[in-house]
Amino acid sequence: MLYLIIFLTFSPLLLAQEPVVGLWVVRNTLTDSTRINAMLETAYQLGFTDLFVQVRGRGDAYYTSRWEPRAESLATDFDPLHYLLHHPLRKHFRIHAWVNVFYVWSQSTPPVSARHVVNQYPEWLERPANAVQPSSFRSMWKTFRNEEGLYLSPHVKAVQLHLLRIIQDIITHYNVDGIHLDYIRYGGSQFGFHPEGVRQFQSLFHLDPTQLQFSKTTRKTSQSVPYEVVLDRWARFLQARLTRFVWRVHQVVKKHNPTVILSAAVKPDVSLARWRYYQDWGRWLTEGLIDWALPMNYTADTRTFLYRINQMLQTLPPDKIIMGVSLFNQPATEALNKIVLVEQIPLKGVVLFSYNQIKNNAVIQELLKDHLTREYSHETGNSRPAGQ
């Protein structure tokens, strides 16, 4: 209750803004027109305003791409993003192209397509300290992956160019309302040690970050500079590299069309995001590099859920935060309770993960329909919601 008292001290003017009611749509819904039809109909009936549709999952494309292979699950003559954007129900939503940025592979067997970035440019992959370039995919999978899979390295200029081309390709050929960045981070504190990044850091600070030992209780290096100083400089260096790339994405998107919304799915603990994943999304938000932040506040525990929000609101603009609520790890009633709590806070809105949990669950659908259509009716008639 204390958290709500803190939240409600914000200006009531923020509460008057049109809220976002968002839904993350995972790529397995985009494999054919029947599934897309069902998703759009369900989203419309439940009163969603914004759809974050995953068009780049694991270094592949759920659209017609110049730069990457089609997703293996797609028919050769079907373009899911084009179909969705020309659907009669499209006018009721803002459509955001959801792009998994650095995360490119999650299976222990290599991609089928020779065009896939993992097959074409294995030297672009991020890695832990002192890892040498493997000679086979099997050894690369064992050495370079975190618990999720393989990531590209933000340090490599060719990686950044490749990703910027992908985003440019989407906004040039598809009339999307937004670009939504996911996995816009490093794979964890043990990653970031691509040789290019190490070289850049050494040239700036004359220190060797590969001597940092993150897994040991006793922190020490063989360098004369204290461990804490090296670690702090290394962390800030990684944050700056990632922030610089987000700035470049912002430049590409806004130069093409200033009204396109640039958003990012981010870690919900602001401090942990910054110091473990080097994702300084609070800075991105306050400096205007992104328009919206969507914290993935997926805990089932209500106290933790509210604590994280309170932590954000100490320093960040609430009208640019859309709170993520999970449907996969808690009962529908608990998820609805969290939606109600978010509605009492002057945030930009709420976004649910994901449609996969809604599509075959009548209980969730009935609860959401009863609540969302009552709280957020389609007052915009035949047109989708206004921009930002």
Over residues 356-380, mean pLDDT? 82
- Of the listed ranges 184-188, 301-305, 366-370, the least confidently predicted one is 366-370
- Of the listed ranges 59-63, 102-106, 313-317, 372-376, the least confidently predicted one is 372-376
pLDDT at 29 over 60: yes
What is the Cα–Cα distance from 354 to 373, expressed in whole angstroms? 18
Position 217 scores a pLDDT of 42
Position 216 scores a pLDDT of 44
Indicate the pLDDT class of residue 388, thresholds 50, 70 and 90.
Answer: low
Higher confidence at residue 376 or residue 329?
Answer: 329
Determine contact, residues 175/260, Cβ cutoff 8 Å.
no
Q: Tell me the pairing of strands 103-105 and 150-151.
A: antiparallel
Q: CA of 388: how far to CAs of 20, 37, 94, 156, in Å?
A: 10, 26, 10, 32
pLDDT at 172 over 70: yes
Mean of per-residue pLDDT scores for the chain = 91
Domain residue spans in the chain?
2-191+241-375
pTM: 0.92
Q: Which residues contact 69 (CB under 8 A, 6 or more apart)?
A: 60, 61, 111, 113, 115, 116
Which residue, chain included where needed, has tokens 């839904």?
Answer: 23
Indicate the pLDDT class of residue 15, thresholds 50, 70 and 90.
Answer: very low
pLDDT at 267 over 50: yes
Q: What is the pLDDT of residues 185-224, one digit of tens each?
A: 999 999 999 999 999 999 999 999 988 865 444 445 555 5
pLDDT at 370 over 60: yes
Position 14 scores a pLDDT of 40
Q: Which amino acid is at 140?
A: M
- For domain 2-191+241-375, the CATH class is alpha beta
pLDDT at 239 over 90: yes
User: Residue 110, class by beta-carbon neighbours within 10 Å (0-12 exposed, 13-18 middle, 19+ buried)?
Assistant: middle
pLDDT at 341 over 80: yes
Over residues 244-271, mean pLDDT? 98
pLDDT at 13 over 70: no
Position 225 scores a pLDDT of 65
Position 330 scores a pLDDT of 96
Position 62 scores a pLDDT of 98
Helix (H) or strand (E) holding 326: strand 322-326
Helix axes 332-343, 362-375, angle to 10 degrees: 20
Position 162 scores a pLDDT of 98
Long-range (24+ apart) CB contacts under 8 A made by 354-358 are: 354/23, 354/24, 354/25, 354/26, 354/327, 354/328, 355/23, 355/24, 355/25, 355/26, 355/29, 355/39, 355/42, 355/43, 356/26, 356/28, 356/29, 356/328, 357/327, 357/328, 358/23, 358/42, 358/46, 358/327
Q: What is the DSSP string of 106-143?
A: -SSS--S-TTSHHHH-GGGB--BTTPPPPSSHHHHHHH
Position 143 scores a pLDDT of 95
Over residues 4-13, mean pLDDT? 43
Indicate the pLDDT class of residue 5, thresholds 50, 70 and 90.
Answer: very low
Helix (H) or strand (E) holding 230: helix 227-256
Position 268 scores a pLDDT of 98
Position 382 scores a pLDDT of 47
Helix (H) or strand (E) holding 377: none
